[in-house]
Amino acid sequence: MIVLRIRRTATTPLLSSPFTSSQPIHPPPPSLTLPVAKISLGFNGAGSLTFTRRRTNHQPRTANSYMAGVGSSVVNPTYAEIIVVRHGETDWNADGRIQGHLDVELNDTGRQQAATVADRLSREPSISVVYSSDLKRALETAQIIAAGCGGQEVIKEPDLRERHLGDLQGLVLREAAKLSPKAYQAFLNQRTDQEIPENE
């Protein structure tokens, strides 16, 4: 799932953002280029929440030409932050079973992980928008986080789905090499443009 926050200078009025809940994920208009700070959240081996922020060094440009076209004042954002959050744990994660596009729900541990992330993000500045894939494990994670951060609507975006993993889906990883060797080798390649075979 993706959480987007757009930070603006204090003296600039808040205006409608091109990143609205009625629009799918697309790059902003060419005249509106925002430096991005990417924040990654996850759980380490000890089960503790980790929080990492990386900010670009590019300076923002104002959006005069874009906003002039829609009759609005100029937005002068300081920068945008994109927070990428992996879905919470499922029973298949716990078993080491490969999910891919198969629609597996969160378990109780996964729901607690999502609540922990929601609590952490609730102490950050306001969230602008939340996107999630339409798979249950991601969507429920996003909904728990959104509810804890001001009740934002979660926008379902199928293109955010995990990669389809062909014959590997449903297999336990340690058995995959023996049960589906061609698909397993394609998976190890780590090329996202390479199809993983099905029905060997």
162 is catalytic: yes
Is 91 within any annotated ligand binding site?
Answer: yes
Confirm whether residue 90 is marked as ligand binding.
yes
164 part of the active site: no
> Active-site residue among 58, 87, 124, 157?
87
Task: Flag whether 137 is marked binding.
Answer: yes
The dihedral over CA atoms of 112, 55, 13, 121, expressed in degrees to the nearest 10, equals: 10
Residue from 105, 124, 157, 162 carrying the catalytic annotation: 162
Q: Are 19 and 1 in contact (CB under 8 A)?
A: no
Which two tokens mark 40? 């990654």
State yes or no: 7 annotated in a binding site: no
Residue 92 annotated as part of some ligand binding site: yes
87 is in an annotated binding site: yes
Q: Is 95 annotated as a binding residue?
A: no
Instruction: Determine if residue 26 is labeled as part of a ligand binding site.
Output: no
Which segments are annotated as binding site for substrate?
86-93, 137
Which segments are annotated as binding site?
86-93, 137
Catalytic residue numbers read 87, 162
